[in-house]
Amino acid sequence: MVIVGTWRLVSFLTSDGKGGERQYWDDQASGLIIYTPDGRVSAQLYDARRARLGIAWDQADAPAARQAFVGMASYFGRYRLDPDRSIVTHTIEGAMSPDWIGTDLVRSYHFDGSDRLELKVVTTAEGRQPAGSTVLLWERVGV
């Protein structure tokens, strides 16, 4: 299987704290992740329930900006694969959170056929293992 391509987010599951899983943004998560042949990655994830601002984004007051910000995750950078361990590492060059820049997001990966990709969070931008599991399921939409 090949990770290069454009993938649409199908589901975003996280631990519910009781031994089960729950949808991170209910069933309203949307997003794309793009892996290029030359080692670039770009990811955008959004909570589709975010309210419209109704004004230019740079004119939003603090509560509206906070609501928009916490309903998203986006970054770009480089990636490298370790196929022996089924690990992909995203090295962040730019992100919605400035604290992520220069960090590595480590994910295990698994292909479910040729058109489904499962990414599981191994380390966060802070370099820690998450308290529970976070699994993102992607569907190929382009090469």
**CATH (domain of 109):** 2.40.128.320
Residues whose CB is less than 8 angstroms from the CB of residue 23 and which lie 6 or more positions away in sequence, other chains included: 11, 12, 13, 29
Number of domains observed in the structure of the chain: 1
d(CA 60, CA 57): 6
| pLDDT at res. 23 | 86
d(CA 134, CA 125): 14
Q: How far is CA 61 from the centre of its chain?
A: 26
Residues whose CB is less than 8 angstroms from the CB of residue 135 and which lie 6 or more positions away in sequence, other chains included: 11, 12, 13, 14, 21, 118, 119, 120, 121
Phi, psi of 109 (to 5 degrees): -130, 155
Burial class (CB in 10 A: 0-12, 13-18, 19+), 58: exposed
The pTM score is: 0.91
The encoded tokens of residue 78 equal: 């480089």
Tell me which residue range forms the domain holding 14: 5-142
Q: Tens-of-pLDDT digits for all 143 residues of the chain?
A: 799 999 999 999 888 878 888 888 888 889 999 999 999 999 999 998 888 888 888 888 888 888 888 889 999 999 999 999 999 999 999 999 999 999 999 999 999 988 999 999 999 888 888 878 899 999 999 87
